[in-house]
Amino acid sequence: MTEKTIILPPGANGNGADAQYRLTMMVPKRRYLSYLRERWWVVLLSLAVSISSIVVYETVRTQKYISVAQIYMSGNVQLNVGSLFSEESLTYFGTQIELLKSARLQNAAFQKAGITIPPGHKNPYNIEVVQPLKTSILQLQATGPDLELTQLVLQSLVNEYLAYKKETRMTTSQDVLDSLQDGLTKKAADLQTEQENWAGFQRSNNLAVLLEESKSDGLYLSELNLNLAKLELDADLLAAGLPPLSTATVASPTNSANSPTNGTPATDSLGTQLATDLEGADKPTSSESMLVSAKVELAVLRAQREQAFNTHGEAYANRMNDAITNLQQRVEVLEQQNWQQQQASLDQIKKRIAAMEASIPGLEKKVLALDELLAKGDQLKNNVTREQNYYDHMLGTLQNVDLGKNLQQEVLSVLQPATAAQLEKRHLPLRIALAGFGGLCFGLGLVFVWYLLDDRFVSFHDIKDQFGETFLGLVPQIKVPKTKPQAALLNSNDPRPGYMESYRHLRSALLLSSIGEGRPQTLLFTSASPAEGKTTIAVNLARLLARSSLRVVLVDADGQGGGMSRLLGDKEQPGLLDYLRGEASAETIVHPTEFENLLLVPGGTHKDQSEGLFLRPKLAELIQELRKNADFVVLDGAPILASDAAALLVPYADSVILVTRPFYTRSRLVRQTLDMLYQRQAKHVSIILNRARPDDLAGHYAMNGMSRTHRNGTAARA
């Protein structure tokens, strides 16, 4: 990502595009292909290094020979000795592979082959062991510098592996057998102990009797709790003045099926007493029925009295009052008797409840004791069963191990002994192709990382993508000897048509552009840093404008640089600095040139004494005087970040032309330069790309359709 600056329209007060009219945003960084064209040598160097490295390596390295062998697992890879001694298939084969690659077996194989490797020296023989997918085969491959020893080393390793496995199996089987025998003896003792505990419990307890007693007492306890709940409900109803749920009490559980068995005399006495009490409980009496009948009869008499009063008169009705009064008294007597009976029944029920509540805890305690005895018996019986299962399992395991000892010789077999060593195939063309591909990818990646970290301009697209200022045009790159900088200047019959045409485009852009009400007259050429080519472009453009019958004054305002003096080869003569110091007049510092319409104002003498001269009012007077008799005043200023003199010239310029250079000018420096120009109230800023590549020239002119009018019209609107 990089930054892009957009120039906003000027305000209503007519202010130009100063700093507050510039909007900066982030845009994707592009033009990697242009950067790659410039850094093609990095990719080529990476490609050459990678290919040459693999060629040199394959040429100088020692030839190697290869021998292969195969081992087949012909039996079950899991010893049938129980889960504690078993191996999963993947773990088993992985263990065998690491065993074959172990230093112990390989050193033994080297000794058998008669090979001695001095301490500190690298082992020249490499042994690889792999397992083909979903097979019981181990494939071995030995690589070494000697034809015969390579095969011998591999065969010795196979023999050492088989011998080691045989020895290990015998030792392991005997150890397992001894361990199982010790465990079997211990389990036999544990089984005998548990059997004795179980027999002792059976001698002191009859499980059948205990089970029957627990069942009977449990049922009896359940019925007592049920009868207790019913009596408590009847007591609550009687206490509330309501009749109980039934007039007869629930029968006592005294039948033979629900009564306790032998051995419980306390429980038998309690059951007999409760049965007697329940049989003598209140039975349904006639008091309640007599009370109901009396109330019904009273209601009938009252109804008859009302009817007699309506039919026979009051005298006849009064004769029935005595009978009603007697009947009312009888009802009251019956109600009193009924209440007394209910109270007696309530007291008797409470006594029964108390007797049941007193008997239940003892019965519960007995039931719990019986359950504990039964649970203990079950535990002893389960212990005997568990120890018996352990004993039987270990006995079976011991028998399997003893049988497996006679079959161990069939677990491993050599499917293919070590083959005669063959010369290793190098596949040189494939290796070179892979090395070239890797080098190409590395070079492209290196250039891409370089491109991401480099914020220098690559092409004119970078300028347009990142900045909203007018892109005036570009100048192609030409070869100029360092000893002859004058070769960069345009001549009347210049043999470089592309170079000449680029300046003609710049001239058209200047003539057809407009700022405010007219085209710019005073042009300030500057750059972000030195060596960007601003002086060359300023001089060539001034010459081309003069050849177009336009009056041009070229001013060397870069007092410290001296680039124009080297380019034009002029001797030191009075110029701009002398005028600003007051040592020369305006007429004496303007010098003619070989071009009729081009005048030159050199930098002047004593350039080391230029401090503060551009701040004097005489500078504005000089520029105003030069504008009177010229169509264009071209100022060749210093780099804006290298000297403050160029910034002091900005207010006097109608247009500031910033010269940039691909793969040299950095975006952040251009951004600082533009900020400084707008802070100095630059009226208009344009950008030129100097030393452009051929692909930039073709892309730029193709994009603009070679139409100067259209391009500069857009620049004017910006």
Mean pLDDT of 553-558: 90
**Is the model's pTM score more than 0.85?**
no
Can you say how many angstroms the Cα of residue 294 is from the centroid of all Cα atoms in its chain?
A: 95
Q: Is the pLDDT of residue 69 over 50?
A: yes
Of 604, 498, 503, nearest to 546 by C-alpha is 503
Count the neighbouring beta carbons within 10 Å of the beta carbon of residue 611: 8
Decide: helix, strand or coil at residue 6. strand
Cβ contact 81:404 at 8 Å:
yes
* CA 223 to each of CA 226, 252, 414: distance values in angstroms, whole numbers, following the listed order: 5, 9, 81
The strand order across the sheet containing 552-556 reads 470-476, 685-692, 655-660, 522-527, 632-636, 552-556, 598-601, 591-592
Split at pLDDT 50, 70, 90, the class of 52 is very high
**CATH for 2-30+458-717, options being 2.40.128.20, 3.40.80.10, 3.40.50.10470, 3.40.50.300:** 3.40.50.300
DSSP annotation string for 360-389: HHHHHHHHHHHHHHHHHHHHHHHHHHHHHH
Distance of alpha carbon 450 from alpha carbon 444, whole angstroms? 10
For residue range 115-136, list pLDDT tens digits in order.
888 887 888 888 999 988 778 8
Decide: helix, strand or coil at residue 585. coil
Count the neighbouring beta carbons within 10 Å of the beta carbon of residue 698: 10
Cβ contact 579:542 at 8 Å:
no
* CA 316 to each of CA 300, 306, 312, 320, 323: distance values in angstroms, whole numbers, following the listed order: 16, 11, 6, 7, 13
Distance of alpha carbon 661 from alpha carbon 474, whole angstroms? 10
Decide: helix, strand or coil at residue 128. strand
Distance of alpha carbon 366 from alpha carbon 260, whole angstroms? 12
Distance of alpha carbon 34 from alpha carbon 695, whole angstroms? 8
Split at pLDDT 50, 70, 90, the class of 523 is very high
Predicted local distance difference test score (pLDDT) of residue 66: 92
For residue range 9-30, list pLDDT tens digits in order.
555 444 444 444 555 555 445 5
Cβ contact 249:222 at 8 Å:
no
Mean pLDDT of 185-194: 87
Higher pLDDT among residues 395 and 313, named by residue: 395
Q: Is the pLDDT of residue 561 over 90?
A: no
